[in-house]
Amino acid sequence: MRKYNIKFFEHRKIFFGLSLAILAIGIVFNIIFGTQLDIKFTGGAVIKYSYQGSISQQEVEEIVQNTAKKDAEVCILENAAADKNEENYVSISFSGTDSITIDEQQKIAKELTAKYPNADFQVNESNSVNPTMGRNFFAKCMTAVLLASLLLILYIAIRFKKIGGMSAGVMAVIALIHDVLMVYFTFVIFRMPLNDNFIAVVLTILGYSLNDTIIIYDRIRENRRLMSPKTPLSQLVDTSINQTFSRSINTSICTFTAIATVFVVGQIFGLTSVTSFALPMMIGVMTGCYSSICIAGPLYVMWQNHKASKRLENA
Partner 1 sequence: MKRVAKPVFFIVALLILFLTYTATFGIKGQNGDNTTTYIKGVSDIRWGIDINGGVEATFSPETNTKATKEQIDSAKSIIEVRMTSQHITDYELYTDYNNDRIIVRFPWKSEEKTFDPENAIKELSATALLTFREGGEYTTADTGSNGKPVYKTPKGITKDSIILQGKDIKSAKAEMFQDPTSGKTEYQVGLELNDSGTQKFADATERLQDKVISIWMDDVMISSPTVNQVIEDGKCSIQGNFTASEASDLANKITAGALPFKLTTTSFNTINPTLGSSSLRAMAIAGCIAFGLVCIFMLIVFRLPGFVAIIALLGQIGLSFAAVSGYFPFINSFTMTLPGIAGIILSIGMGVDANIITASRIKEELYLGKTIDGAIQKGDDNSFWAIFDGNITVIIVALILMGIFGPTNILSMIFGPSTTGSIYSFGYTLLIGIIGNFVFGVTATRLMTKSISRFKFARKKWLYGGAAE
Stretch 259-298 residues interacting with partner 1 (CB under 8 A): 259, 261-262, 264-266, 268-269, 271, 273-274, 277-278, 281
CB of 132 to partner 1, least distance (A): 8
Q: Note whether 140 binds partner 1 by CB under 8 A.
A: yes
Q: How many CB atoms lie within 10 A of CB 83?
A: 8
Q: Give whole-number Cα distances, 105 to 46, 47, 205, 296, in Å.
A: 10, 8, 38, 52
Which segments within 25-85 are labelled E, that is strand?
44-51, 72-77
Phi, psi angles (nearest 5°) of residue 4: -90, 145
Q: Note whether 110 binds partner 1 by CB under 8 A.
A: no
Q: How many CB atoms lie within 10 A of CB 315?
A: 5
Phi, psi angles (nearest 5°) of residue 92: -115, 115
Q: Which amino acid is at 7?
A: K
CB of 55 to partner 1, least distance (A): 18
Q: In sequence order, what are the residues at sequence separation of 6 or more whose Cβ sits closer than 8 angstroms to the Cβ of residue 55?
A: 76, 90, 116, 119
| Spatial separation of the C-alpha atoms in residues 157 and 203, rounded to whole Å | 18
Could you tell me if 200 and 180 are in contact, meaning their C-beta atoms sit under 8 angstroms apart? no
Please, which residue, 12 or 295, has the CB nearer to partner 1? 295
Q: Note whether 133 binds partner 1 by CB under 8 A.
A: yes
CB of 169 to partner 1, least distance (A): 13
Please, which residue, 110 or 310, has the CB nearer to partner 1? 110
Q: Note whether 7 binds partner 1 by CB under 8 A.
A: no
Please, which residue, 60 or 172, has the CB nearer to partner 1? 172
Could you tell me if 43 and 135 are in contact, meaning their C-beta atoms sit under 8 angstroms apart? yes
CB of 266 to partner 1, least distance (A): 6
Figure out which of the listed residues 121, 185, 256, 300 binds partner 1, where binding follows CB under 8 A: 256
SS3 77: strand
Figure out which of the listed residues 257, 306, 308, 310 binds partner 1, where binding follows CB under 8 A: 257
Please, which residue, 79 or 211, has the CB nearer to partner 1? 211
Query: Contacts with partner 1 in 207-226 (CB under 8 A)?
Result: 207-208, 210-212, 214-215, 218
Q: Note whether 253 binds partner 1 by CB under 8 A.
A: yes
| Spatial separation of the C-alpha atoms in residues 261 and 56, rounded to whole Å | 35
Contact letters for partner 1, residues 19-58 (x by CB under 8 A): -------------------------------x--------
Figure out which of the listed residues 56, 66, 101, 309 binds partner 1, where binding follows CB under 8 A: 101
Q: Note whether 255 binds partner 1 by CB under 8 A.
A: yes
Figure out which of the listed residues 15, 137, 187, 300 binds partner 1, where binding follows CB under 8 A: 137
Q: Which stretch binds partner 1 (CB under 8 A): 16-24, 55-63, 101-109, 225-233?
A: 101-109
| Spatial separation of the C-alpha atoms in residues 197 and 185, rounded to whole Å | 14
| Spatial separation of the C-alpha atoms in residues 301 and 305, rounded to whole Å | 6
Q: Note whether 77 binds partner 1 by CB under 8 A.
A: no
What sign has the CA pseudo-torsion 167, 171, 177, 181?
Answer: positive
Could you tell me if 202 and 145 are in contact, meaning their C-beta atoms sit under 8 angstroms apart? yes
Figure out which of the listed residues 27, 151, 157, 308 binds partner 1, where binding follows CB under 8 A: 151
